[in-house]
């Protein structure tokens, strides 16, 4: 179970230097934080020279603190005309500052005007203080800051990246020994790219030994300010120190990808690839985007709260926060999707659920901007009507028009996107370094080195997967005309949901019918939706005469789900090769499996496409580009399309 996040306490020494009362140590030298960052970490890692001419360069830092090292690195990147195309800065932090304290410490300590502008930008984008991985983008996506709010002992082994430079900047070993253990350095060795460099303010003997034991070569050099010495060096192991190599970019002749499907999953993939300069060909069997489940008039989005902070909760939390950032970016680019005002209310099924969820929210220490329990009276005030029970409020949850989101994502791709509609994809074939996509008439319709299959129910068939247990869930929505029910103050959900749309229509739903292919509207489906909503919202009881329910408007769509209700996101495994080598792979881990070169999946999102699609697309784009993954490796493995093959191998049922 995830530990609650405890923020840092802002304090200053008499000389104005910020320090941590918890560790009784300063965040930077009294001589100057910016100067220390420049001398120790940039100069110590031979930057900016080493990133020049590179497409992607990745810095990994242990201990984000105030973010001074990141800000200084960002400023150096901006000032360098030969800078790398994309700079990734990944940092762990067990006790992050609150946004207010971050602004305060910047105002008190940063005098450089150029750095102050960057600090203001960072503080404005500072994430909610909830555990996990947070990805922020600056400079149009060319600077990516990945913050991992967790204990470094747990978070560093969970990272998946190839580091080019290490900033080892935890509090002093004597003050915070947990940041300098052999296990920490072993984790760093797993992530080091070829000739990765490091620098650290410290020069303690234990650190030298840990570096040497894990394949790093160090050199003692003059320290910064009053410090006599510090350490710099590089990764040069004389023996094998890791089982798996860090991720590398996919080798392709051309940065061109085919995306099959233009629902939430496919359009998010288009946007994320195009943002990196990829040319994308989209293939869609319908005449326009978002025609299947993504074509519903609105969908609700919110995090998932569970008593044990389950895998589904963690993935949904990461996806929800990342999606909010991407949607805000679309708005800044002039492509705003249609969505309602912020705020979504979840109603407890009974008093016991209300009590247990309130206890879980308190135990995890979630900030009120993420989720907050609300009493029955407060919930009724927010909803604008009587309710059956209390619940909890997601201040940044709400509803969005999925089709408008898909359109916005495609619009940002501009000329990099070639749209092709009315294409019914039948199969894929690889020849040389390219994939060829064939339609149902046997015609080759597109060729590219990379294919992303984002076509929901058809994905497993198109990709030729045998180990992808997906099923179809029929969902019928009900649309209530204006004036049918009292106006809701915000979306309300629980055993059903009710959403007040901008035109006065109220959307309710949705039924959940397994393997039912009937696409026609049913009277009983409308009545079922209204009955469930009425259990949460008593004013909805009896609002529609059952005899007239058949005349209500609505929509039927089909959700694609897996047997474990988690999505399928990432590089497909080579099932044929795995079958041939089944005996050896019986005890395999995900990184042991052979993978299909250039073939990825993004499907089986069920009813959580709005919160999973953007993060899933970012994960796939990061895998293709060899960039740091946007979420922890164990979570990526829980949504890996190969997980069902892996289970079959372990159970010796592969044939």
pLDDT at 183 over 60: yes
For 328-358, write each residue's pLDDT tens digit: 999 999 999 999 999 999 999 999 999 999 9
> Is 264 part of any domain?
yes
The pLDDT, as a whole number, for residue 539 is: 95
CATH number of the domain at 438, please.
Answer: 3.50.50.60
The pLDDT, as a whole number, for residue 138 is: 97
The pLDDT, as a whole number, for residue 15 is: 87
Same domain, 604 and 506: no
Lowest average pLDDT, out of 12-21, 501-510, 549-558, goes to 12-21
> Is 300 part of any domain?
no
The pLDDT, as a whole number, for residue 177 is: 87
DSSP 42: I
> Is 159 part of any domain?
yes
> Is 247 part of any domain?
no
Q: Regarding predicted confidence, which is higher, 514 or 2? A: 514
Same domain, 524 and 596: no
Q: Examine the fold and report which residue of 529, 562, 595 is the final residue of a domain before the chain moves on.
A: 562
The pLDDT, as a whole number, for residue 203 is: 87
Give the bridge partners for 75, in sequence order.
Answer: none
Same domain, 160 and 114: yes
Domain containing 346 equals 342-397+471-562
Same domain, 418 and 479: no
Q: Examine the fold and report which residue of 546, 562, 578 is the final residue of a domain before the chain moves on.
A: 562
Same domain, 554 and 568: no
The pLDDT, as a whole number, for residue 279 is: 98
Mean pLDDT for 106-130 is 96
Mean pLDDT for 573-580 is 96
How many Å apart are CA 455 and CA 425, to the nearest integer?
10
Counts of helices then strands in the chain (DSSP H, E) = 18, 31
How many Å apart are CA 644 and CA 466, to the nearest integer?
9
Same domain, 492 and 619: no
Mean pLDDT for 17-25 is 87
Mean pLDDT for 549-571 is 96
Same domain, 133 and 272: no
pLDDT band at residue 241 using 50, 70 and 90 as cut-offs: confident
Same domain, 465 and 475: no
CATH number of the domain at 358, please.
Answer: 3.30.9.10
pLDDT band at residue 574 using 50, 70 and 90 as cut-offs: very high
What is the share, in percent, of the chain residues with pLDDT greater than 70?
Answer: 100
For 198-228, write each residue's pLDDT tens digit: 999 988 899 999 999 999 999 999 988 878 8
> Is 356 part of any domain?
yes
Same domain, 63 and 169: yes
The maximal CA–CA distance of the chain, rounded, in angstroms, is 86
For 382-424, write each residue's pLDDT tens digit: 999 999 999 999 999 999 999 999 999 999 999 999 999 999 9
Q: Which two tokens stand for residue 625?
A: 């580009």
> Is 248 part of any domain?
no
> Is 166 part of any domain?
yes
The pLDDT, as a whole number, for residue 564 is: 95
Contact (Cβ atoms closer than 8 angstroms) between residue 537 and residue 489: no
What is the share, in percent, of the chain residues with pLDDT greater than 90?
Answer: 90
For 136-176, write each residue's pLDDT tens digit: 999 999 999 999 999 999 999 999 999 999 999 877 888 88
Same domain, 460 and 501: no
Q: Give the residue among 2, 32, 26 at the shortest CA–CA distance from 14.
A: 26
Residues 6+ apart with CB under 8 A from 17: 26, 27, 28, 29, 30
Mean pLDDT for 568-590 is 96
pLDDT at 23 over 90: no
Cis, bond preceding 510 (omega within 30 deg of 0): yes
- What mean pLDDT, rounded, does the chain reach? 95
Residue carrying the six token digits 């020994």? 177
Q: Examine the fold and report which residue of 515, 544, 562 is the final residue of a domain before the chain moves on.
A: 562
Same domain, 128 and 41: yes
How many structural domains comprise the chain? 3
pLDDT at 1 over 70: no
Same domain, 421 and 549: no
DSSP 210: H
Residues 6+ apart with CB under 8 A from 100: none
Mean pLDDT for 457-468 is 95
The pLDDT, as a whole number, for residue 553 is: 96
The pLDDT, as a whole number, for residue 422 is: 97
> Is 53 part of any domain?
yes
Mean pLDDT for 321-331 is 98
């Amino acid at each position: 179970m995830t530990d609650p996040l405890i923020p840092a306490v802002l304090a200053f020494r008499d000389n104005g230097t910020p320090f941590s009362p918890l560790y009784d140590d300063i965040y930077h030298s009294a001589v100057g934080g910016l100067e220390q960052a420049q001398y120790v970490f940039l100069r110590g890692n031979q930057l900016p020279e080493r990133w020049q001419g590179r497409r992607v360069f990745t810095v990994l830092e242990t201990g984000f603190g105030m973010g001074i090292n990141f800000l200084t690195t960002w400023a150096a990147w901006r000032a360098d005309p030969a800078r790398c195309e994309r700079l990734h800065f990944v940092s762990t932090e067990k006790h992050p500052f609150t946004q207010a304290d971050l602004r305060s410490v910047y105002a008190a300590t940063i005098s450089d005007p150029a750095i102050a502008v960057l600090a203001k930008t960072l503080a404005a984008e500072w994430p909610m203080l909830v555990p996990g991985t947070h990805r922020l983008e600056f400079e149009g996506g060319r600077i990516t800051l990945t913050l991992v709010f967790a204990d470094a002992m747990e978070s560093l082994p969970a990272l998946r990246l190839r580091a080019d430079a290490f900033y080892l900047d935890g509090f002093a070993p004597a003050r915070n020994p947990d940041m300098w253990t052999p296990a920490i350095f072993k984790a760093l060795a797993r992530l080091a790219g070829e000739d990765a460099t490091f620098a650290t303010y410290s020069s303690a003997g234990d650190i030298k030994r840990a570096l040497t034991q894990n394949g790093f070569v160090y050199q003692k050099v003059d320290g910064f300010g009053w410090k006599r010495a510090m350490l710099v060096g590089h990764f040069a192991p004389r023996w094998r120190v890791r089982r798996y190599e860090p991720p590398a970019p996919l080798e392709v002749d051309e940065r061109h990808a085919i995306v099959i499907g233009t629902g939430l999953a496919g359009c998010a993939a288009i946007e994320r690839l195009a943002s990196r300069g990829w040319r994308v060909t989209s293939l869609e069997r319908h005449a326009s985007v978002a025609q299947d489940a993504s074509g519903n008039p609105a969908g609700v989005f919110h995090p998932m709260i569970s008593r044990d902070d389950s895998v589904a909760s963690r993935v949904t939390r990461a996806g929800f926060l990342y999606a909010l950032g991407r949607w805000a970016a679309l708005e800044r680019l002039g492509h705003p999707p249609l969505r309602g005002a912020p705020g979504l209310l979840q109603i407890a099924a009974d008093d016991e659920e209300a009590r247990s969820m309130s206890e879980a929210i308190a135990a995890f220490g979630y900030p009120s901007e993420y989720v907050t329990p609300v009493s029955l009276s407060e919930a009724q005030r927010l909803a604008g009507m009587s309710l059956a029970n209390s619940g909890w409020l997601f201040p940044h949850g709400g509803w969005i028009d999925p089709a408008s989101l898909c359109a916005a994502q495609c619009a940002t791709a501009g000329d990099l996107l070639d749209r092709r509609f009315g294409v019914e994809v039948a199969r894929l074939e690889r020849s040389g370094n390219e994939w060829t996509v064939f339609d149902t008439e046997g015609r080759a319709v597109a060729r590219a080195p990379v294919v992303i299959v984002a076509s929901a129910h058809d994905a497993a068939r198109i990709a030729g997967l045998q180990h992808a247990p997906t099923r179809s869930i029929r969902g019928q929505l009900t649309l209530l005309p204006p004036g049918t029910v009292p106006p809701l103050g915000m979306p309300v959900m629980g055993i059903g949901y009710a959403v007040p749309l901008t035109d006065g229509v109220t959307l309710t739903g949705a039924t959940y019918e397994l393997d039912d292919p009937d696409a026609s509207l049913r009277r009983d489906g409308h009545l079922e939706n209204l009955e469930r909503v009425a259990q949460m919202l008593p004013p909805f009881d009896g609002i529609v005469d059952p005899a007239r329910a058949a005349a209500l408007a609505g929509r039927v769509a089909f959700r694609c789900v897996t047997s474990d209700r988690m999505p399928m996101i990432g590089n497909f495994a080579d099932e044929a090769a795995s079958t041939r080598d089944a005996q050896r792979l019986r005890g395999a881990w995900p990184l042991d499996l052979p993978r299909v070169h250039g073939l990825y999946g993004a499907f089986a999102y069920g009813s959580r496409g709005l919160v999973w699609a953007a993060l899933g697309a970012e994960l796939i784009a990061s895998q293709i580009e060899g960039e740091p993954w946007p979420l922890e490796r164990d979570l990526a493995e829980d949504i890996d399309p190969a997980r069902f093959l892996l289970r079959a191998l372990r159970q010796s049922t592969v044939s």
